[in-house]
């Protein structure tokens, strides 16, 4: 006679196994991004002379610090199940306002808060439109994109150079250590990453962001302020876009209405490749950092190759997006 009790795991064992499986599924997308990044770096080291130089990796941060800040803001939005198509236009508008104010003789200590306030205000307006008027995030942020990009050309149709001594000194400042260097923009970007990671992991607001993205109806029944959280994440995204615009103005030393064209797609790609679910509720800032590094490493490999068009960057990003979206679907199905 077979003792069925010996053949079936105890409830605590079942629970432990389910929790273990959930944890593996939770970190699977981020782990996949980390493996992909390591694989790409290994391919670069094997195929290209000088690719293993530490400065090559640091240059990825230097060249993408502004994108990293924008992508962090996008992470907050996507975690709630939303989307923000306005970030590239807000970045461009920020560069134009900063360049215009500095050209008129405004001190940087005044111009900088103004441009950050403009970005946050645009984000706040889109968040209010989404919450109070129940406009789909795609439509609301599309309107914000057209508004911000249009305001760029109201300011000027031409590029505005930045020659303010403070702005130029920050742009050219290199922080050396051990024979390698980074820029002030990289330090600012890393500070934003650390702050965002802390907020999402250790604050009530961070828990609310995940709850709203996981199930808005359940979050509302639990007494969470879903509307306030949604408005806040779009305000954060607008603020990060404005700060990204400031970093881009350090990088380019100019303001131009065509700056950051398509950056909203790069930011979304970095967040998705970094493992954040497009449906919301799951994802990590560290994954977004890895996603930005993947995009930067693709550009670096194409540069080292020398005979490939820059359009191959878009092709590779498109392929990776397909792969990671399929991976996300597989993970969510296993959770069910």
Q: Convert the pLDDT of each residue in 93-137 to its tens digit.
A: 999 999 999 999 999 999 999 999 999 999 999 999 999 999 999
Give the DSSP H or E segment for 225: none
Comparing C-alpha atoms, which of 317, 142, 137, 140 is closest to residue 213?
Answer: 137
Question: Is the pLDDT at 213 greater than 90, yes or no?
Answer: yes
Question: Is the pLDDT at 317 greater than 70, yes or no?
Answer: yes
Cβ-based neighbours of 230, under 8 Å, separated by 6 or more: 80, 82, 127, 130, 131, 212
Give the DSSP H or E segment for 182: strand 180-183
CA dist 286 and 190 (Å) reads: 11
Q: Convert the pLDDT of each residue in 139-198 to its tens digit.
A: 999 999 999 999 999 999 999 999 999 999 999 999 999 999 999 999 999 999 999 999
What is the percent of the chain with per-residue pLDDT over 90, rounded to a whole number?
Answer: 77
Confidence (pLDDT) at 29: 84
**pTM for this prediction:** 0.92
- The beta strand positions in 50-173, using DSSP E, are 160-161
CA dist 296 and 71 (Å) reads: 13
Would you place residue 17 in the very low, low, confident or very high pLDDT band (cuts 50, 70, 90)?
low
Report whether 185 contacts 247 (CB < 8 A).
yes
CA dist 24 and 170 (Å) reads: 43
**Can you tell me the mean pLDDT for 15-25?**
53
Structure tokens at 313: 């960057």
CA dist 63 and 179 (Å) reads: 19
- Residue 290 CA, distance from chain mean position: 10
- Tokens 């051990």: give the residue: 178
Report whether 62 contacts 260 (CB < 8 A).
no
Strand-pair partners of 176: 181
Q: Convert the pLDDT of each residue in 248-259 to its tens digit.
A: 999 999 999 999
CA dist 256 and 275 (Å) reads: 32
Q: Convert the pLDDT of each residue in 26-41 to its tens digit.
A: 788 899 999 999 999 9
Report whether 226 contacts 216 (CB < 8 A).
yes
Q: What are the φ and ψ backbone dihedral angles of 306, each rounded to 5 degrees? A: 85, -30
Q: Convert the pLDDT of each residue in 277-310 to its tens digit.
A: 998 999 999 999 999 999 999 999 999 998 877 7
Domains and CATH numbers, the chain: 53-335 (1.10.3470)
CA dist 29 and 168 (Å) reads: 40
């Amino acid at each position: 006679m077979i003792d069925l009790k010996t053949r079936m795991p105890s409830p605590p064992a079942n629970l432990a196994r389910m929790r273990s499986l959930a944890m593996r599924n939770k970190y699977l997308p981020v782990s996949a991004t980390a493996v992909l990044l390591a694989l790409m770096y290994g391919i670069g080291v094997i195929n290209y002379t000088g690719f293993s130089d530490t400065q090559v990796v640091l240059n990825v941060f230097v060249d993408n610090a502004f994108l990293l800040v924008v992508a962090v803001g996008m992470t907050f939005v996507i975690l709630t199940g939303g989307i923000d198509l306005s970030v590239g236009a807000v970045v461009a508008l920020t560069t134009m306002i900063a360049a215009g104010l500095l050209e008129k003789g405004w001190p940087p200590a005044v111009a900088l808060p103004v441009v950050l306030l403009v970005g946050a205000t645009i984000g706040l307006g889109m968040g209010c439109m989404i919450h109070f008027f129940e406009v789909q995030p795609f439509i609301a942020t599309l309107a914000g994109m057209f508004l911000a990009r249009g305001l760029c050309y109201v300011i000027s149709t031409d590029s505005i150079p930045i020659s303010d001594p403070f702005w130029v000194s920050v742009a050219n400042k290199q922080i050396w250590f051990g024979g390698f260097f980074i820029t002030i923009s990289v330090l600012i970007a890393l500070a934003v990453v650390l702050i965002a990671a802390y907020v999402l992991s250790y604050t009530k607001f961070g828990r609310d962001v995940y709850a709203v993205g996981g199930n808005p109806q359940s979050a509302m029944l639990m007494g969470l302020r879903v509307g306030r959280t949604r408005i806040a994440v779009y305000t954060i995204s607008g603020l990060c876009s404005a700060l990204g615009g400031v970093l881009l103005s350090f990088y380019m030393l100019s303001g131009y209405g065509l700056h950051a064209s398509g950056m909203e797609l790069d930011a979304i790609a970095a967040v998705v490749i970094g493992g954040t679910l497009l449906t919301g509720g799951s994802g990590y800032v560290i994954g977004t950092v890895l996603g930005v590094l993947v995009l930067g490493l693709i550009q670096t490999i194409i540069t080292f190759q020398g005979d490939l068009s820059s359009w191959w960057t878009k092709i590779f990003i498109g392929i990776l997006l397909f792969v990671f979206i399929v991976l996300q679907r597989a993970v969510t199905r296993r959770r069910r």
